[in-house]
Amino acid sequence: MGTNWAVMQEFLVNTFMTFLVVIDPLGLAPLVAAMTHGYEEAERRRMVFRATAIATGILFSFAFGGDYVLASLGISFAAFRIAGGILLFLVAIDMLFARQIGLRSLTANEDAEAVQRHDISVFPLAIPLLAGPGAIASVLLLMGRTQGDIRLQAAVLTVLLGVLLLTLISLLLAGRVVKVLGVTGINVVTRVLGILLAALAAQFVLDGFREAF
């Protein structure tokens, strides 16, 4: 029983850290504060709630239907572990060096469109800032690690909901978060989390090669 609980604890910690780093509630706060500058408070809150709900629906859809998507495309889970690990490693590099490589950012055209759009809840907030490639890959990888164990699957979904709730709170308090931590403080936290994500990404790649060979 002790071993099972120890395994569950390790899995919960890994799952929480993965979602926390990839979704990055603190890192999104200054972006949302900038994009919603000049909006009425009620309008800002409505967009944040809507974006979080849409992102939750997308991520849960991949959690339940990811296996079918991979199977229909003929992709083995070992291959997806390796590809997903590499993808998350790129996100980690993005965080460590405070640069935008496209996985957690917008292209110039998308950025221009985001500025012009009145409602940013669907794009770019829900997609790709909340439910981006890194978050989707993380959901698929972590659900795959459960190997059909209902308790572990429930743990993944519960932790995902918890991190999304933290993100919702962070976005609702975006202005205050930026004032308290400042840009430098947010960059420090982001870099520390990037180191952890790099290690988790490497573990996904190693697990993929071990499963394949």
> Dihedral (C-alpha) 173, 105, 95, 190: value to the nearest 10 degrees?
0
Closest-CA residue to 38 (of 128, 122, 120): 120
pLDDT digits (tens, 9 = 90+) for 81-115: 888 888 878 878 877 776 555 545 555 555 555 44
Closest-CA residue to 175 (of 44, 12, 83): 44
Note the helical H segments in 73-132.
77-96, 108-116
Residue 106 confidence (pLDDT): 52
pLDDT digits (tens, 9 = 90+) for 32-52: 887 777 788 899 999 999 999
